């Protein structure tokens, strides 16, 4: 039987581990907020906008890197999911750009950096990160199809908030300057497929920064809807 002394020692160790874990998560949250506060200010000020637009791909890559630092499920299935999310998302954009199917008629501007077949490579990263975040937020829901539905709905809702900002900042441009309903239907369909893959892949799905970052993105693009759209 464990002595009171031993129990007190174990309790102190457990408390210390929990405190260290929360301190580490807190640092990550602070970094994410700082990234996006600075980004929102820079994009909202016309004299600094070009500089911050040039930094946009690096901002997304840095955000992905931070999320991966806090990822816990490093099994063989995780990079397979990551590759699937990247290439399904990127491939759907290729179809959209070159055929007009899935999303409608649009073209990418230079803001998002290096392109492959007229689609920025960082778009695949965006699909991965957004799929990862929404999948993690709904990871406790037991039914795969329902969880995938909620994840895809959240991804489409964020795209709805993001679209006017993206057009104003020349991320991409729509034919006749009209965002078609097919864009959101296509987003939902592709997102649902990736979310199902997320659910079927065998790795730990919880990330302590996921909900925080998703909320930060919602606030970030909501603010930009008021500050960059003329």
Q: What is the DSSP string of 68-99?
A: HHT----STHHHHHHHHHHHHHHHHHHHHHHH
Question: Which single residue is written with the structure tokens 């592709």?
Answer: 190
pLDDT at 12 exceeding the cut of 70? no
Q: Look-up: residue for tokens 């200010």?
A: 41
- Is 56 within 8 Å of 165 (Cβ atoms)? no
The separation between CA 176 and the C-alpha centre of its own chain, rounded to angstroms, equals: 28
Is the per-residue pLDDT at 140 higher than 60? yes
CB contact at 8 A, 184 and 121 = no
Q: Cα 163 to chain center, whole Å?
A: 15
93, 97, 98, 103: CA torsion to nearest 10: 80
Q: Please give the share of the chain, as a percent, with pLDDT higher than 90.
A: 68
19: pLDDT strictly greater than 80: no
In our burial notation (b when 16+ CB lie closer than 10 A, e otherwise), range 64-94 reads bebbeebbeeeeeebeebbebbbebbbebbb
Query: 136 vs 20, which has greater pLDDT?
Result: 136
- pLDDT band of 16, cuts 50, 70, 90: low
Maximum CA pair distance of the chain? Answer: 76
Instruction: Compute the average pLDDT of residues 11-40.
Output: 74
| Helix, strand, coil percent content, the chain, rounded in steps of 5 | 75, 5, 20
C-alpha angle 185-188-79 in degrees, rounded to nearest 5: 145
Per-residue confidence (pLDDT) for residue 9, from 0 to 100: 44
User: Taking residues 183-191, what's their average pLDDT?
Assistant: 95
Boundaries of domain holding 50: 4-227
Mean pLDDT of 130-156: 94
**Tally of structural domains, the chain:** 1
Residue 215: both structure tokens together = 């909320």
For the record, the structure tokens of 107 come out as: 């073209």
Whether 115 shows a pLDDT value over 70: the answer reads: yes
Least confident of 39-43, 70-74, 151-155, 220-224: 70-74
pLDDT greater than 50 at residue 7: no
pLDDT tier at 22, thresholds 50, 70, 90: low
**Mean pLDDT over the full length of the chain:** 88
Q: pLDDT-derived band of residue 3, with 50, 70 and 90 as boundaries? A: low
pLDDT tens for 56-88 read 999 999 999 999 999 988 888 999 999 999 999
Quick one: which of 166, 145, 182 has its CA closest to 221?
166
């Amino acid at each position: 039987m464990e002595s009171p002394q031993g129990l007190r020692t174990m309790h102190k160790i457990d408390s210390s581990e929990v405190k260290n874990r929360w301190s580490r998560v807190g640092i990550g949250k602070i970094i994410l907020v700082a990234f996006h506060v600075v980004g929102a200010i820079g994009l909202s000020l016309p004299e600094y906008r070009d500089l911050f637009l040039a930094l946009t791909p690096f901002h997304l890559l840095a955000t992905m890197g931070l999320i991966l630092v806090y990822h816990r499920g490093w099994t063989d299935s995780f990079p397979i999911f990551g590759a699937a999310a990247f290439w399904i998302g990127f491939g759907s954009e290729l179809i959209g750009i070159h055929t007009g199917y899935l999303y409608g008629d649009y073209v990418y501007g230079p803001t998002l950096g290096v392109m492959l077949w007229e689609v920025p490579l960082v778009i695949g990263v965006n699909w991965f990160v957004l799929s990862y975040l929404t999948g993690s937020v709904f990871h406790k829901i037991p039914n795969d199809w329902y969880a995938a539905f909620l994840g895809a709905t959240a991804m489409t809702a964020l795209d709805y908030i993001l679209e006017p900002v993206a057009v104003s900042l020349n991320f991409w441009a729509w034919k006749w300057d009209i965002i078609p309903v097919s864009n959101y239907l296509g987003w939902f369909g592709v997102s649902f497929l990736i979310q199902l893959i997320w659910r079927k892949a065998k790795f730990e799905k919880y990330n302590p920064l996921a909900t925080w970052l998703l909320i930060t993105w919602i606030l970030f693009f909501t603010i930009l809807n008021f500050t960059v759209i003329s």
